[in-house]
Amino acid sequence: MPFLNAVSSADAEDKQSNANPTLLSIRNVAKNFGRNTVLRNVSLEIAEGEFLTILGESGSGKTTLLRIIAGFETATSGELWMGERLDHQPPYRRRVNTVFQNYALFPHLTVEQNVGYGLRVAKRPGAEIAQRVADALDKVKMTAHAKSKPSKISGGQQQRVALARALVNRPRLLLLDEPLSALDANLRRQMQVELKSLQREVGIAFVFVTHDQEEAMVMSDRIALLRSGELEQVATPREIYNRPATAYVAQFIGHTNLLQAEARGGVVRIGMPHCEPLAWPASLPDGPVLFSLRPEHIRLADAVTSGSSTDDKTVRVRGRVLHQAFHGATELIRVQCPDELVLVVRMASAGGVSNGMHQEIELEFSAADAVLVRESPERS
Amino acid sequence: MFSRAYKTVVTVPPLLWVTVFLLVPYLLMFCYSFWSVSPQQVIVHSWNLENYKDLLRKAVYWQTLLRSMWIAARVMLFSLLLGYPLAYFLSFYAGKKKDLLYQLVIIPLWVSYLVRAYAWKTILGSDGVLNTLLQYVHLTQHPLDFLLYSPFAVVLTLTHIYTPFTFLPIYAALEHIPRNLVEASHDLGATPAQTFWKVIFPLSIPGVVAGATFAFVLSLGDFLAPLLLGGPSGIMISNIVVSLFGASYDWPLGAAISLAMLVIVVSLLLLSERLEKKWSFS
């Protein structure tokens, strides 16, 4: 399996790049608003210079966690450490700056004055302020608008000013609260790239909050996936995609097929009665188990080998095409298999099933591509 | 979009109202201000500037006008000093008690002006609550007589009456400040005091200007508080206008003084509108 090997070596590389010392340590943080629990027992380490994304649906507690780091909310329990205890400091003493969701630029100040605000309240000398503000505006290509009021510039430009206003203070940690969500798709993709390269350039740790899993995958060194106030998995984008820890992670990040199975004596029977029991590489305790199988790991059964039994790690299943969705280079095909099992298959658009609605096809996948995942417990 | 008949029905009554009850009276006043009263107490349509000259020549008129402006200025200042902190506290720190406190500020507006003016009379009089208390605790031997029938009493009463009018626009302006601007300021290292002076106060200036204008303009034209509590030294320009239109029977001079006040008030309103525009960013 050359593809899998390639992936695991990339994982190893990612892990190495995260060997930096810990900058911020979040320890057992919980937050209640009245009787409403928003965060429970969140522990997370953020390394120097890291781009970490807190990913989650709305209501998962991601913004609350960010606000606790910034100091706008107080955790009900737990601690924050950044060299010293951070959560006892008011927001204006923390060497943490925030890029707000709607930018929160001061409407009565010009772009230049907005960017210089942090330096002015810190009473830096005038010449230094002028120099650093000019540099920051140059870095985000906003020098031409230095004298404009925020209401006179576009959303994308406001976004850059907000970034410059935060970075000019040379924080140790930059928090970004869904900063791209107000931009349209094209500008958004462009800003993702710019933001990532800017982060590499300045070397400041970024904690980026988003609900957009694609954005998280593109930009992050690591993703922390929050679900109902608890961390579901913290890992590199590749790891979280290839080795999702739970069924929820597998479904939230990209498309997947969840397969019910039964393990007994190191042999697994996937919930397809027509399918032979499989000898599984890992030793499993007996009982029901759940597998995640990415759509791209399922392929049309090879015509030559079809019907004849191949090695026992290849699973074959027949089905009827239910639905085809064209995605450009690839297409997603929903296939109705026996026993009410529906498989989602990703195929190159050029190959395989063309105009195949209701067509009978045979699919196969390698058992090694199916990832064992934990059932995600119900949480309110 | 709307029929002609509909437009007519909707626009004519207000236009009529404004014409009959506003423009015509102002026009009449304007005419009166150039007329005069004959020794036989008859109004003569003589067309001259004598009334305006009197206003500038006779000390009692321009001094009273100046004193009225000075009283109004003090009322404005004290209403701002009381109204701003109150509005700031309610908007930023009152939490769940906000609505209740807001109602408590508004309720006095429903109480008759006269009742409130008389209440101060009972408090400030020589047998009043305050003097009785001061003598009872032996802070003074004799009643303090500057408390009532003085400019002090007028300023105090007007401040009490007009502070809610100052509070309201300031409160509205503070409520309009997005809270994430305050967070952004803290985030950038500004202390609460720096945040107040660099973000909150500048953004509340339109409310301050509107509130100051209310307090000044309303106090400048007031005649009940000086009548009830002002005494001879606390007389204001409106008291003179009232007497000119009444006992003194000099409508032309009364009209001239009224128009002079109107010019002052309209100029202030225009100025405050410009200031509010200059400081509004939404």
Can you give the residue ranges of every domain in chain A? 2-250, 255-373
**Domain contains B191:** yes
User: Considering only CB atoms, which chain B residues are within 8 Å of A101?
Assistant: 180
The tens digit of pLDDT for each residue in B80-117 reads 999 999 999 999 998 889 999 999 998 888 888 888 88
Query: Has residue B28 been placed in a domain?
Result: no
Do the chains contact at A117 and B281, CB–CB below 8 Å?
no
- Cβ of A102 and B180 within 8 Å? yes
Contact check, Cβ <8 Å, B191/A121: yes
> Are B266 and B40 a contacting pair, CB within 8 Å?
no
Taking contacts as CB-CB distances below 8 angstroms, the residues of chain A near B203 are: 107-108
Q: What is the pLDDT of residues B174-198, one digit of tens each?
A: 999 999 999 999 999 999 999 999 9
pLDDT for A289: 83
pLDDT (tens digit per residue) in B255-273: 999 999 999 999 999 999 9
Of B209, B196, B173, which Cα lies nearest the Cα of B282? B173
Cβ neighbors of A182 (< 8 A, separation 6 or more) are A101, A102, A155, A159
Which structural domain, as residue segments, surrounds residue B66? 51-278
Of B190, B194, B202, the CB nearest to A108: B202
Token pair listed for A351? 């190959």
**Residue B40 maps to a domain:** no
Identify whether B14 is part of a domain.
Answer: no
User: What confidence category does residue B43 fall into, taking pLDDT thresholds of 50, 70 and 90?
Assistant: confident
Phi, psi of A153 (to 5 degrees): -120, 160
How much of chain A exceeds pLDDT 70, in percent?
A: 85
**Residue B226 in tokens:** 């000086």
The pLDDT assigned to A8 comes to 41
Contact flag A122-B189 (C-beta cutoff 8 Å) = yes
A92–B187 CB contact, under 8 Å: yes
Q: Which CATH class is domain A2-250?
A: alpha beta
- Residue B204 falls within a domain, yes or no? yes
Predicted TM-score of the model (pTM): 0.84
Res. A5 pLDDT band, cuts 50 70 90:
very low
- What are the beta bridge partners of residue A26? A44, A80
Residue A58 has pLDDT above 70, yes or no: yes
Which residues neighbour A15 within 8 Å (Cβ) at sequence distance 6 or greater?
A236
Supply the CATH number for residue B160's domain: 1.10.3720.10
Rounded to an integer, the average pLDDT of B239-243 is: 92
- In one-letter notation, the amino acid at residue A108 is H
B4 is a domain residue: no
Q: How far is CA B129 from the centre of its chain?
A: 27
**Per the structure, how many domains does chain B have?**
1
Give residue B218's pLDDT band: very low, low, confident or very high (50, 70, 90).
very high
* Residue A348: strand, helix, or coil: strand
* A235: pLDDT strictly greater than 90: yes
A255-373 to CATH, choices 3.90.420.10, 3.40.47.10, 2.40.50.100, 3.40.50.150: 2.40.50.100
pLDDT range class, residue A352, cuts 50, 70, 90? low
**What is residue A355's predicted lDDT score, i.e. its pLDDT?**
59
Is a pLDDT exceeding 50 seen at residue B77?
A: yes
Closest CA to B210 of B165, B263, B260: B165
Best mean pLDDT range from A111-120, A273-282, B101-110: A111-120
SS3 assignment, position A7: helix
pLDDT category, A14, cuts 50, 70, 90?
A: very low
Average pLDDT, whole number, for chain B? 91
Collect all residues from B whose CB is shorter than 8 A from any CB in A. 178, 180-181, 183-191, 194, 198-199, 202-203, 279, 281-282
Identify the residue among B181, B188, B200 best suited for mutation to test binding to A, counting A beta carbons within 10 A and taking the highest: B188
Provide the 3-class DSSP secondary structure of residue A355: coil
Contact B244, B250 (CB under 8 A): yes
**B201, closest residue in chain A (CA to CA):** A108
Residue B127 forms part of a structural domain: yes
Q: Is there a domain that residue B12 lies in?
A: no
Could you read off the pLDDT of A72-106 as tens digits, one per residue?
999 999 999 998 899 889 999 999 999 998 899 99
Give the burial string for B86-109 (b: 16+ CB within 10 Å, else e): bbbebbbeeeeebeeebeebeeee
